[in-house]
Amino acid sequence: MKFLVIGGDAAGMSAASRAKRRNPDVEVTVLEKTRDVSYSACGMPYNIADRTRPIEDLVVRRAEVFREKQGIHLLTGHRVESIDIEGKTVNGISDQEKPLP
């Protein structure tokens, strides 16, 4: 079985991690348009209000942990532009202007 998550913020990575924990054999892929994953979007206003607060405070877990320890296929720099549910395909581009795999 394949499981796709679009968006690698805290909620997206939580969904990906839970899918992998529930079924270790599932192929989990996450597409995230930025280079940052597992960040708390809710905390962003605090970082904006206090410029001395490190942005790293928002990161729950680094991308390498998801890739190496949890076996999640995490693709950063990939923007999804359309989804074909019936055809089970996702279209978009990477930050290097290449079509998504």
Is this model's pTM higher than 0.85 or not? Answer: no
Is there a domain that residue 99 lies in? no
37: three-class secondary structure by DSSP: coil
Over residues 7-64, the pLDDT tens digits come to 998 889 999 999 999 999 999 999 999 887 876 777 778 778 888 888 777 766 777 7
Is there a domain that residue 46 lies in? yes
Catalytic status, residue 13 = no
Over residues 76-88, the pLDDT tens digits come to 999 999 999 999 9
Range(s) of the domain holding residue 86: 2-94
Radius of gyration of the chain (CA): 15
Look up the CATH number of the domain holding residue 61. 3.50.50.60
Q: How far apart are CA 47 and CA 55, in angstroms?
A: 7
Residue type, 64: E
Closest CA to 92 of 68, 75, 69: 75
Is there a domain that residue 100 lies in? no
Residue 86, pLDDT score:
96
Is there a domain that residue 101 lies in? no
Catalytic pick from 41, 42, 44, 83? 42
Q: Give the chain's domain count.
A: 1
Collect all residues with Cβ–Cβ distance below 8 Å to 41 and sequence separation of at least 6. 9, 10, 58
